Structure 1
Amino acid sequence: MKMIYNILFFFFALLYVPSFFMKGKHKGGVGSRFGFVPEEARRRLAGRQVIWVHGVSVGEVVQAVRLAGSLKRRFPRSAFLVTTTTAAGREVAERLLDPEDTLLYFPVDFGPCVRRFIGAVRPGLVVLLETEIWPNLIFELSRRRIPCFIVNGRISDRAFRRYRSVSRFLGRVLNALAAVSVQDAAMGERFRRLGASPERIRVTGNMKYDWQPPDGGEPLVERLERGWAAGGFFVIAGSTHAGEEEMLFNLAVRLRGRRPALRLLIAPRHLDRIAAIESEAARRGVRLERASCLTDGHPEAVVLDRMGLLARLYRSADAVFIGGSLVPAGGHNPVEAAIYERPILFGPHMHNFKEMAEDFKKMKAAIEVKNVKELETRLEELMSDPEKRRRMGRAARELVALHQGATERNAEVLAAAMAG
């Protein structure tokens, strides 16, 4: 089965690499993707105990950096390597990591690339966030007796159905890990059914609840809060996906006459879609401006065109819609809005945060809407009911507080492994 995996991976790489270069995704790290670690990174890591933490993209990178911070307090002399797969993840990591840490792109899971990368960085401990199950990497680490952990483990419904067809092979991969720390008992059962031995599985909670507000101010955020958004009913649609902006602009047009105080901020998940969003706004007759170029013309909507500012803006929102949930993209993390005690709404497609979404609904900390028409109705209700907004916001913050602490619990598990 391992040979079949490698053959399939090789042919996939042959198809993927040309488009990878044509789209410019190689910028800032093609070498490490193929296992070639820059000399500067080698020097920074040489002669020290290296702890390698990997998060595939933005959300996982935030968790990886937070976990690395917890481990640093326990192992201050260790060198920390953080890897990611996406350009967006790299951008976030560059902003969050300490200057002495090392940041690289994750190597592709092909034998020679993996061996070259591991040989160059020489890790003493490897931590993979969530669902980063890479057979060649895990087998090679096991062969070299380097402990490798999955933390904040989760497997989506779709991935679970797919993985069950190769559960015999996957069981070998999972049992080459030192341990799997999972978000909840249901996720632990999924890993067990895929072949992980029960003694390797630990329930440590969901690290996504441990998000903390960023320090310091940001001029663009303050300008939006004190200017365009001030005095209106400020709605943030965070991490939106293709198809949702059209619905939200239609909503804005319908509400324009009845609720002129509405201020809609669109924060797309991917900034390379901003031009398309602007075209969509023009087609719908919505006056839209970019946040970084905001004028005094009082646009009906603003599109956030900079990374890293969305969480800060949540603090001043009157209501928050979680993007990726009106279309089947799986939704996004509501914790950032919840910490600021904001009322939260999301659509029916929160499958990437299924358990979390259910908890928010049970606590009356969020409202699930079936479609954009219901979103419009619920927003109007919240506009007219400030006490309901406050109740929802308090419930959201209490729910988050109830579930926090998973990062420290995972750090304790990893520290024990290092000490042992």
Structure 2
Amino acid sequence: MVAIYYILALIAWLIGAIFLLPLSLKKKYRSAIPARFFLFNNPKFKDAKVHFHACSYGEIQALTPIMRKFEDKAISVVTHTGFEAAKKISQNSRFLPFEIFLPFWLKKSKILVIFEAELWLMLVFVAKLNGSRVILINARISDRSYARYKKFSFFYATIFRYIDQVYAQSDLDKERLMSLGAKDIKVAGNVKSAFASQPGKIYKKPKERVIVLASTHEGEEKMLLENLKLSKNDKLVIAPRHPERFASVGEFVKEWSHKHGFEFDKFSQNGNFNRQITLLDTLGELVNVYAISDVVVLGGSFVSGIGGHNPIECANFNPILVSGEHVFNQKALFRLVSGVKFIKTNELNDVLSLYKERARIINKADITVIIDDIRSSYEQ
């Protein structure tokens, strides 16, 4: 099975390389594609006892409190934003290469810790071949993903053959993982709920009500602004999910602001919230803004296909928390938060006028068992 998979991956790479080269010229992929698919500026790790692997920025942020407990570590990621976040934790950070390179690139560690759904066959196979212990933490399978996983259950059964321990988010996730062939599963709760997010900077809370449109996607800014009536006692912060959209969202919001007589500014230019509308166009600042927010409207949930975003980080600061109804990827996390108001966009004004309940986290995971597991291998 592994040999056949490797051959198919090699064929896919040979065909796909033609299309990947021009794609790598785009700003979004300029670092990740050359590093992952051509090993450009992506050397092997330095020797490390524990190797953490996660996909992107959000996953690295969630893993950070665990990773900081281990000095001798390596971190691999998939996305550019994830890489930038990982480098702040350890210089021994790399992009995870495409699977055909892993037999020659991956170095032995005492333990490989994989976060959530990063299930790459060659990664776990080569790690086990090198003598590493492999654990999967924060494992979950959403309603939408489960049907797709079941169609390829034979493939996932092969992957789970090389994973020694699985820590699932819930009993339902445990059942689904077992049906796909996972063994030695423990329910540990959601890692993202275990650590209270703390602001890295403290900003003075404006006297006005602070409304944050957080982690918005294409089309959501327009939908929400069309259904939002700001008063002189409101300040609005707009935080697009992806940095490559900062410029285009900035142009749109600037035009909208001028049309409606609001002062507009970019946070990257002045670093404050003095204007009535501010575009948060700097990574790593959203948690600092949550700390001074009164209302958070969580994006990725008003358009179909995204599935919502993690509500835990903002709920930690107890704002009024508003979400769209499309949260199929985050149902497990929303069950850990009380007071969330789910709405359609045309209900936004009424909710901001009438809804007063504050969100709060009602079930924080105890992940001591995960840390102890990693440490037992780390100290051998």
Compute the TM-score of the two structures, normalised by the length of structure 1. 0.80
Tell me the residue number matched to 2:62: 63
Q: Partner amino acid for 1:104? A: R
The Cα RMSD (Å) is 2.7
1:212 to 191, 196, 208: 196
Residue 367 of structure 1 deviates from its aligned partner by: 0.9
Tell me the residue number matched to 1:366: 340
Whole-Å separation in 1 of the counterparts to 2:85 and 2:31: 16
1:115 to 97, 103, 107: 103
Whole-Å separation in 1 of the counterparts to 2:272 and 2:165: 56
Distance change >3 Å, CA 208–CA 236, structure 1 → 2: same
Whole-Å separation in 1 of the counterparts to 2:194 and 2:272: 38
Q: Partner amino acid for 2:194? A: D
Residue 260 of structure 1 deviates from its aligned partner by: 2.9
Tell me the residue number matched to 2:284: 308
- Structure 1: which 5+ residue stretches go unaligned? 383-387
SS of residue matched to 1:403: coil
Whole-Å separation in 1 of the counterparts to 2:169 and 2:95: 26
Higher helix share: 1
Tell me the residue number matched to 2:73: 80
Residue 301 of structure 1 deviates from its aligned partner by: 1.8
Residue 58 of structure 1 deviates from its aligned partner by: 1.0
The answer as to 2:324 corresponding to 1:340 is no
Whole-Å separation in 2 of the counterparts to 1:232 and 1:250: 21
Question: Aligned ranges for residues 8-407 of structure 1 at < 5 Å?
Answer: 10-11=11-12, 13-14=16-17, 16-24=19-27, 25-27=29-31, 30-31=34-35, 34=38, 45-46=46-47, 49-70=48-69, 72=70, 79-95=72-88, 97-98=89-90, 101-110=91-100, 113-118=101-106, 121-197=107-183, 200-214=184-198, 216-217=200-201, 222=203, 225=204, 230-252=206-228, 255-256=229-230, 259-282=231-254, 284=256, 285-286=259-260, 287=262, 288-294=264-270, 299-328=275-304, 329-360=306-337, 363=338, 365-369=339-343, 371-382=344-355, 388-389=356-357, 392-393=358-359, 396-397=360-361, 399=362, 402-406=363-367
Distance change >3 Å, CA 213–CA 243, structure 1 → 2: same
Q: Partner amino acid for 2:278? A: V
Cα deviations by residue, 1:92-147 (Å, 9 ceiling, x for unpaired)? 2233x15xx5111111122xx101221xx322211110000001121222233321
Identity %: 23
- Structure 2: which 5+ residue stretches go unaligned? none
Distance change >3 Å, CA 185–CA 203, structure 1 → 2: same
Whole-Å separation in 1 of the counterparts to 2:307 and 2:19: 24
Whole-Å separation in 2 of the counterparts to 1:11 and 1:123: 28
Tell me the residue number matched to 1:385: none
Q: Partner amino acid for 2:31? A: K
Tell me if structure 2 keeps the 8 A contact 1:156–1:351. yes
Q: Partner amino acid for 2:334? A: A
SS of residue matched to 1:239: strand
SS of residue matched to 2:166: strand
Distance change >3 Å, CA 33–CA 151, structure 1 → 2: farther
Tell me if structure 2 keeps the 8 A contact 1:330–1:352. yes
Tell me if structure 2 keeps the 8 A contact 1:152–1:206. yes
Whole-Å separation in 2 of the counterparts to 1:123 and 1:340: 38
Tell me if structure 2 keeps the 8 A contact 1:149–1:179. yes
Whole-Å separation in 2 of the counterparts to 1:296 and 1:413: 43
Tell me if structure 2 keeps the 8 A contact 1:32–1:117. no
Whole-Å separation in 2 of the counterparts to 1:116 and 1:62: 29
Compute the TM-score of the two structures, normalised by the length of structure 2. 0.88
Tell me if structure 2 keeps the 8 A contact 1:211–1:336. no
Q: Partner amino acid for 2:341? A: I
Whole-Å separation in 2 of the counterparts to 1:359 and 1:269: 22
Whole-Å separation in 2 of the counterparts to 1:297 and 1:404: 34
Tell me if structure 1 keeps the 8 A contact 2:303–2:326. yes
Residue 324 of structure 1 deviates from its aligned partner by: 0.5
Tell me if structure 2 keeps the 8 A contact 1:35–1:117. no
SS of residue matched to 1:411: helix
Residue 298 of structure 1 deviates from its aligned partner by: 6.3
Whole-Å separation in 1 of the counterparts to 2:108 and 2:130: 10
Residue 299 of structure 1 deviates from its aligned partner by: 4.3
Cα deviations by residue, 1:247-266 (Å, 9 ceiling, x for unpaired)? 122123xx14xx33221111
Residue 231 of structure 1 deviates from its aligned partner by: 2.3
Whole-Å separation in 1 of the counterparts to 2:292 and 2:266: 18
Tell me if structure 1 keeps the 8 A contact 2:9–2:99. no
